[in-house]
Amino acid sequence: MNDLSGRISWADVGLALLLVAVAVAISRMRRTGLEGDIAVATFRSFAQLLAVGFVLDFVFGGGTALTPVVLLVMVGTATLTSGARGKRVPGAYWIAATSVSAAAGGTLGVLLLLGIVPAAPRAAIPLGSMIISNAMNTASLVMRRLRDDLGAHRREVEAHLSLGETAAEASASWHRTAVRNGMLPIVDQTKVVGLVALPGAMTGMLLAGASPSSAIKLQMVVMYMLLGGNAFAALVAGRLTVSRLFTSDHQLIRSLRRVSD
């Protein structure tokens, strides 16, 4: 099989935009009001991917020295995004940075040290981006779910605290729910991989002409890497969020105690 990516021209990309026009037409016909969002998303994706393409051309030609810089930029961007989503949690940016860094270091770092993944930018950067983006979403989900649940059930939480339980004990059930909520998407994705969809890494290798067996082995590494990374992110985000939603005296912070019933 020939490399499909090498046969796609800019004219082909232009023709693919007809599908965007179809989406805009459907949105207008059904009056969903998404035409502007679709246009902005299309323009941003085009500009961002074009810019990333030039950057990766430069990085791939510069050896492994620039790989940590690119990964740090990704972690920083993920921190800003996740922190903004969880901004009602005190120290949300610090929680996001720690969670994403733990996920990347605990998975990609280990795979690099063991030699399972080569340190070449062409391998480390795409795999790192997968881990970081998934960890970003997981940290956001855990922070928001934990903060909302503790606020909504604060009377019950305070009842546990009044019986002498610590903050960790009083919040345990909602902590478990938040971690489960954060991990469930990647767990479900892992369950149905190959049956419902062929994931990106496997699809990319198949389109590039690799054998199915090679593509499958790479996809297994990727899926297990993402599952482990999300577990790290959920665990760290949950633990740190609990520590920031209670005072040192094991009381809910003031903003949660003011939440209306």
Residue 95: which domain range? Answer: 64-257
Same domain (yes/no): 49, 87: no
Closest by CA position to 168, among listed 84, 261, 244: 244
Q: Which of 60, 80, 109 is the last residue of a domain?
A: 60
Report which residue type is found at 208: A
Q: Which of 9, 26, 60 is the last residue of a domain?
A: 60
Same domain (yes/no): 157, 244: yes
**28-45 residues labelled b (16+ CB within 10 A) or e (exposed):** eeeeeeeeeebeeeeeee
What SS3 string covers 81-134? HHHHHCCCCCCHHHHHHHHHHHHHHHHHHHHHHCCCCCCCHHHHHHHHHHHHHH
Q: pLDDT of the chain along its 261 residues, tens only?
A: 455 555 778 888 888 889 999 999 999 998 888 999 999 999 999 998 899 888 888 887 766 778 888 899 999 999 999 999 998 999 999 999 999 999 999 999 899 998 888 888 888 888 999 999 999 999 999 999 999 999 889 899 999 999 999 999 999 999 999 999 999 998 988 888 777 666 666 777 777 677 878 778 888 888 899 999 999 999 999 999 999 999 888 888 887 766 544
What's the distance, Cα to Cα, between the start and end of the chain in Å? Answer: 62
Q: In the chain, how many domains are there?
A: 2
Same domain (yes/no): 252, 201: yes
Q: Is the overall model pTM greater than 0.85, yes or no?
A: no
